Amino acid sequence: MSVLYTCEICGKECEGHPNSRYCSECRGKVIRSTHKESLAKRRAKRQTKASEVAKPMTLGQIAAKARSLHMSYGEFVAKYGL
């Protein structure tokens, strides 16, 4: 059964399913834009994760690194600004 409805985006009168909210043209755009949005969100999430992985070294790691360079922890921090 199809009924007349008005597209919520462009206001065009269309005939279709009673639950339809957008004309076929706008529906395509809406689906594309939500798809793009979720992609961007997913990408942003991944970036957050990546930066968490690249977090600065732990105190123990810094101390070990300083030792390997024959520096004290204080010297190492002063030089590399950690």
Residues found near Zn ion in the complex (CB under 5 A): 7, 9-10, 12, 23, 26
Q: Which is nearer to Zn ion, 26 or 71 (CB)?
A: 26
Taken in order 21, 22, 24, 27, the sign of the CA dihedral is: negative
Q: Which is nearer to Zn ion, 10 or 39 (CB)?
A: 10
Rounded (10°) CA dihedral 17, 19, 22, 27: -80
CB of 5 to Zn ion, least distance (A): 10
Q: Which is nearer to Zn ion, 14 or 66 (CB)?
A: 14
The neighbour count for residue 14, using CB atoms within 10 Å, is 19
The first and second tokens of residue 63, run together, are 């101390």
CB of 10 to Zn ion, least distance (A): 3
Tracing tokens 């600065």 back to the chain, one arrives at: 56
CB of 23 to Zn ion, least distance (A): 3
